[in-house]
């Protein structure tokens, strides 16, 4: 039976992008994502080092406990501060993943299972290539399912998930409906996703029962050419129309820079408010990420995160995987400290204060930018100059590598401190 939720319940939110040669400048893959979440939700940027585990150990995700892998890779994550998983992130092998909420013919389950955001983190912790991340996520999906509220204080807000996953050589689009899924390999050019199904007839991997299930539900006659998007999604809803518009706008913005897409290009796209990609309102862009991944395995990837709302008023700060990185305290929520997994609280009570130090400073200055034109303009110019200087430094590293890891082990934290200094002088 088709599951219908009023359009007012759907946030038209989130956009994820990837660009591969020849659409990019140089031999780089550029990944970007805006995380659009409730406007009062804090998003933190956190780091977890690689770890080994004993056979049989468990890991407690946002709602359920599952079997832990014997080894997890180092990850940097941008995540809503109340949960275990992540909206987006990268790992030490330069795999990047972002997820999107999608709704379709199949009811999204409110029974607590793995959130799509849990699957983002699990994919990053357990896969050293984009294709392996597809395999990890789909195996976990089939074993444990997806479900549970995706908002801290809203018990009925559930959705299915799509994922855009990239590494040094390619990207994969993975779309799910319950336990069923389809995946498409993207080897060149560019691709973007919003809150709608986008895989049509090019399906490179799939759940073995996906087509037969659709036929048994009367969604597909078993004869016409199979399109995952057409079969598994609603044909028309207000939410799909809104996300479809954003999808088209994002695709057009990528096309304008086709052949010359850089980190700057991706940041400009994520900052674009006219398209709706940089969202404002009850649901807004609460965190943003851009990654530059060289195809050359000898060179490091550079991952930029804002850790603050509205990329137009935020600084993209660089992170590079090296040994010895400590937890990123200035962008880590204080409500449960640095322990992992998350220390849960009774749900649907009053929210604790989850604002991290950078968020607190940013919130004050964002109000100044909004209300004081000349002063706000000067602050924004100073923030952009800081970002520009950092990106110039990173261009050298992207070309020549890290010569001394001690100089970049605190790169992200130092960049946050410099941003906070700009705020303090404002």
- Distance in angstroms (rounded) separating the CA atoms of residues 200 and 78: 30
* Token pair 């056979």 in the structure block, residue: 55
Distance of CA 382 to the CA centre of its chain: 27
CB within 8 Å of 29: residues ≥ 6 apart: 18, 19, 20, 21, 166, 167, 168, 169, 171, 291, 292, 293, 295
Burial (CB count within 10 angstroms: exposed 0-12, middle 13-18, buried 19+), residue 286? buried
- Distance in angstroms (rounded) separating the CA atoms of residues 142 and 259: 38
Distance of CA 232 to the CA centre of its chain: 23
The count of other CB atoms within 10 Å of the CB of residue 393 is: 15
Beta bridge partners of 19: 30, 190
Active-site residue 14, yes or no? yes
Element (H, E) at 386: helix 373-400
Q: What are the b/e assignments for 99-116, b being 16+ CB within 10 Å?
A: bbbbbbbbbbbeeebbbb
> Which of these is catalytic: 14, 61, 96, 332?
14
Q: Which residues are catalytic?
A: 14
């Amino acid at each position: 039976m088709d599951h219908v939720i009023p359009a007012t319940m759907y946030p038209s939110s989130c956009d994820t992008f990837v660009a591969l040669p020849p659409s990019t400048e140089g031999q780089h893959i550029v990944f970007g994502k805006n995380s659009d979440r409730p406007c009062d939700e804090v998003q933190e940027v956190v780091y977890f080092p690689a770890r080994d585990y004993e056979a049989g150990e468990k890991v407690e995700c946002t709602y359920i406990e599952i079997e832990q892998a014997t080894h997890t890779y180092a990850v940097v994550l941008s995540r809503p501060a109340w949960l275990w998983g992540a909206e987006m992130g990268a790992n030490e092998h330069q795999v990047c993943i972002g997820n999107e909420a999608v709704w379709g013919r199949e009811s999204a389950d409110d029974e607590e299972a793995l959130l799509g955001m849990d699957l983002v983190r699990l994919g990053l912790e357990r896969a050293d290539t984009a294709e392996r991340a597809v395999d990890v996520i789909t195996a976990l999906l089939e074993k444990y399912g997806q479900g549970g509220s995706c908002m801290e204080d809203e018990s009925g807000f559930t959705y299915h998930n799509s994922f855009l996953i990239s590494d040094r050589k390619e990207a994969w689009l993975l779309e799910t409906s319950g336990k069923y899924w389809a995946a498409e390999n993207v080897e060149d050019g560019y691709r973007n996703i919003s809150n709608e199904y986008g895989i049509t007839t090019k399906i490179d991997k799939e759940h073995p029962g996906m087509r037969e299930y659709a036929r048994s539900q009367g969604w597909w006659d078993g004869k016409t050419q199979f399109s995952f998007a057409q079969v598994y999604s609603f044909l028309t809803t207000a939410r799909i129309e809104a996300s479809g518009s954003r999808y088209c706008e994002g695709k057009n913005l990528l096309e304008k820079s086709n052949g010359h897409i850089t980190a700057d290009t991706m940041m400009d796209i994520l900052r674009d408010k006219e398209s709706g990609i940089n969202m404002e309102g009850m649901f807004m862009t609460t965190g943003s990420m851009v990654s530059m991944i060289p195809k050359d395995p000898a060179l490091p990837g550079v991952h930029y995160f804002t850790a603050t709302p509205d990329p137009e008023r935020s600084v993209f700060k660089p992170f590079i995987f090296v040994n010895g990185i400590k937890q990123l305290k200035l962008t880590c929520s204080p409500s449960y400290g640095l322990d992992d997994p998350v220390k849960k609280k009774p749900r649907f009570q009053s929210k604790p204060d989850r604002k991290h130090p950078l968020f607190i400073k940013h919130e004050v200055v964002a109000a100044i930018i909004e209300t004081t034109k000349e002063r706000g303009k000067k602050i924004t110019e100073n923030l952009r100059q800081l970002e520009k200087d950092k990106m110039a430094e990173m261009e050298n590293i992207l070309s020549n590598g890290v010569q001394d890891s001690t100089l970049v082990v605190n790169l992200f934290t130092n960049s946050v401190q410099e941003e906070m200094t700009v705020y303090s002088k404002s």
